[in-house]
Structure 1
Amino acid sequence: MTPPTTTAGTTAGPAPGAAPTESTLHDDPRFRELKRRFRRFAFPVTTVFLGWYLLYVLLCAYARDFMAHKISGNINVALVFGLGQFAATFLTAWIYSRYADRRLDPLSAELRATAAERAGVAA
């Protein structure tokens, strides 16, 4: 694949030495640690969240009597589960934000500074 060209016909892209190559960062043990931390959080949380959603869909499809059970007035189990989906989404986003602030962002900033230092660019 050829690099994109500008209107003047020159190739666009970073100046030589503007950024380290990807392989340089990928070989850094801190980068592998960053990926490991992200995966260690993201995969289990995603699995739980999708499982919760699938449970909701399956109950709506196959357990109609259970989902139609009235809890109070016009509020039934299906409505509570549906609102629980929204709550789970916001809760997941909040938990991830806190996790990223504590465990991912400091290491990412460190890697970014190292990469900029290697490239001779101010961070």
Structure 2
Amino acid sequence: MSMDAEMYQKIHDDPRFQQLVTQRARWVWSLSAIILVLYFSFILLIAFMPGWLAQPIEADTVMTIGIPLGVVIIVSAFVLTGIYVHMANTRFDALTQAILQDLS
């Protein structure tokens, strides 16, 4: 077994690595589910309630309810991405560095 293969096996067997994989997967799936629910809910609103989305926000404006809802969905995608990046740069990277330092 080569040195690289031994190192990879040690990393894989480390319980903190398993914790890292589990935590990262939980965050990825949770944030993905949130954005998918938001997107599909908006599409379902477009399909089944177009009249409601087309209503003006106020009587004397041309902006409809659908415009700010669409903007909220787009902004939420950026916010959720930012949350993941923050988690990756703090918790996940710290755990990765701790694993590598202990095994090297």
TM-score interval for Structure 1 and Structure 2 normalised by the shorter chain = 0.7 to 0.9
TM-score (normalised: structure 1): 0.71
1:60 CA drift (Å) = 0.7
User: 1:99/1:40 Cα in 2 relative to 1: closer, same or farther (>3 Å)?
Assistant: same
2:92 counterpart of 1:104: yes
Say which is worse superposed, 52-61 or 17-26, in terms of deviation.
17-26
Q: How many residues get paired?
A: 101
Superposition map of 1:74-113 within 5 A: 74-113=62-101
**Secondary structure of the structure 2 residue equivalent to 1:75:** coil
1:24 CA drift (Å) = 2.8
**Secondary structure of the structure 1 residue equivalent to 2:3:** coil
| Residue ranges of structure 1 left out of the alignment (5+ in a row) | 1-15, 118-123
Aligned match of 2:51 in 46, 65, 70? 65
| Greater RCO (Cα-Cα under 8 Å, separation 6 or more) | 2
User: Identity over the aligned pairs, expressed in percent?
Assistant: 24
User: 1:28/1:71 Cα in 2 relative to 1: closer, same or farther (>3 Å)?
Assistant: same
Q: Could you list the per-position Cα deviations for residues 80-115 of structure 1 after superposition, in whole angstroms to 9, with x for gaps in the alignment?
A: 121112101110111112222332110011223345
Greater strand content: 1
For 2:6 and 2:94, the matched residues in 1 are separated by: 20
Tell me which residue corresponds to 2:41: 55
| Residue ranges of structure 2 left out of the alignment (5+ in a row) | none
